[in-house]
Amino acid sequence: MPVFIFIVATVVVLDQATKAWITHSFALYESVAVIPGFFNLTYLTNKGAAFGFLAGQNGAWRHLLFLVLGAVALVVIVIAWYRLRFAHRLYAISLPMIAGGALGNLIDRVRLGSVVDFLDVFVGSYHWPAFNVADSAICVGVGLFLLANIQEAKAMKTVGI
C-alpha cells in the first residue's frame, strides 16, 4: 500500500501544483507559446469529462454525475489494485497513476466546479483538447495497464492457457 499511496500522492501534488501555478500566473484563456506551432500553455476550464464530453450540458446533475463517477472510479481502482498488484508489476504502477489522475481532477470539481486544463498541443489549426497532469497520468496509466494485459495474454498463450 505505501507504493500505491506514494504514486497517487505524487500525481496529485504535481497536478495540483501545476494547476495552482497556472491559475495564479495566467488569466483565463491566456496562452503562452512554449514551442511555437506545436505547444502552448493555455489556461482553460473544463466542466465536462475527458476531452470536454458533456461540457455543453448545463445543470447540477452533470456536476453531481461527475463527482459520483469519480468517487466510484477511485473505489474500483483501489479494489482492482488490491487484487492485481502482484499479478504484474505494471498493474502496481498503472492503477495508482490512474487513481492519482482521477483524484486530481475530482479535487478540481469539488473545489472549483470544473477542471483546470492548460497543456495545449496542436499542429497547424488542429488542436488536441487541452489537458493537465492528471489527464496525462490517467492516459499513461491506462497505456501501462493495457501493456500489462497484453503481456499477460501472451504469457497465458505461451503456457497454453
Residue 135 designated active-site? yes
Residue 117 designated active-site? yes
Question: If DSSP states are collapsed to H, E and C, what string results for the chain?
Answer: CHHHHHHHHHHHHHHHHHHHHHHHHCCCCCEEEEECCCEEEEEEEECCCHHHCCCCCCCHHHHHHHHHHHHHHHHHHHHHHHHHCCCCHHHHHHHHHHHHHHHHHHHHHHHHCCEEEEEEEEECCEECCCECHHHHHHHHHHHHHHHHHHHHHHHHHHCCC
CB 44 within 8 A of CB 62: no
Catalytic residue among 15, 108, 120, 135: 135
Catalytic residue among 15, 108, 117, 120: 117
Active site residues: 117, 135
